[in-house]
Amino acid sequence: MTDQAATAIPTTTVRNSAAKTRTPIPRWLFKTFSPVALIVLWQVLSATGALDEETLASPATVLSTAGELWQEGRLQAAVATSVQRVALGLVFGVLAAVVLATISGLFRRGEDLVDAPMQMLRTVPVIGLIPLLIIWFGIGEEPKVVLIALAVTFPLYMNIFGGIRNVDDSLVETARTLGLGRFGQVRHVILPAAMPNALVGLRYALGTAWLALVFGETINANAGIGYEMNTAREFFQTDVIVVCLVLYALLGLVADFIVRLLERTVLAWRPAFRGA
């Protein structure tokens, strides 16, 4: 028995030391593996001829085309124009969603007046409003911005309204017991508790904003990523089309990253599960 115990101790020690010296694989390596592997596979299929260049340009061709567009200044101008449209639509959409959701979430009369029309309007496809927007606002920048604002308003409204109404009632009662007035309850209890839902809605709204931009830039656009993509479609330039699609994806990724940073800052007080 003594000899077995003596031999078991070193074995356990060796196992523990091996586990401690095992180098964990960085998370960024996992995150980049799939996209890099997909691009490599895409390049291999293009190089071997399995994927025709006329059907889909290779990554090397797409990268070369992006460099040419950058040197011509077309890439920067398209990105600047599209970002400006999304930013304007986002500002108006967020303001509308916050005001309407706050009125509807905090007050029962507000819910009676606001929520029913919002629930009806959100079921209408935003893209189907393009003909009306053209009739109302013409073919300039206004219909594009309004389309993006509408696409942002409804998902953000739903999340903010749900966040306000899902606040634990015991927290509100505790705030009343401590002597907080109506404004104090909203500021210190209701809005902080609803903030996680609001930020989730903002992330979703940013995705729909870029989706609406794709359709909005088909309305007599003479600049922007969508304009470059539509022009490339007429000349069957798949490399330019892919460059535009990659730009949409990268801009959406940057916007989502900004919201994630905002979540970490605003919700630093709230411990959350980050995955096992």
DSSP 67-108: HHHHHHTHHHHHHHHHHHHHHHHHHHHHHHHHHHHHHHHH-H
For 239, residues 6+ apart whose C-beta sits below 8 A from its C-beta are 57, 61, 62, 64, 65, 232
pLDDT tens, position by position, 147-160: 999 999 988 998 98
Q: How far is CA 85 from CA 26, 90, 144, in A?
A: 37, 8, 7
Query: Is residue 88 very low, low, confident or very high in pLDDT (cuts 50, 70, 90)?
Result: very high
* 92 pLDDT above the threshold of 90: yes
Cβ count within 10 A of residue 60: 13
Query: Is residue 1 very low, low, confident or very high in pLDDT (cuts 50, 70, 90)?
Result: very low
CA dist., res. 135 & res. 145, Å (int): 15
Cβ count within 10 A of residue 62: 23
Domain residue limits, the chain: 63-266
- Cα-Cα-Cα-Cα dihedral sign, residues 200, 201, 207, 210: negative
What per-residue confidence (pLDDT) applies to 19? 47
* 22 pLDDT above the threshold of 50: yes
Specify the CATH number for 63-266; select among 3.30.70.100, 3.40.50.720, 3.20.20.70, 1.10.3720.10. 1.10.3720.10
> Mean of the pLDDT values across residues 120-146?
84
CA dist., res. 112 & res. 122, Å (int): 16
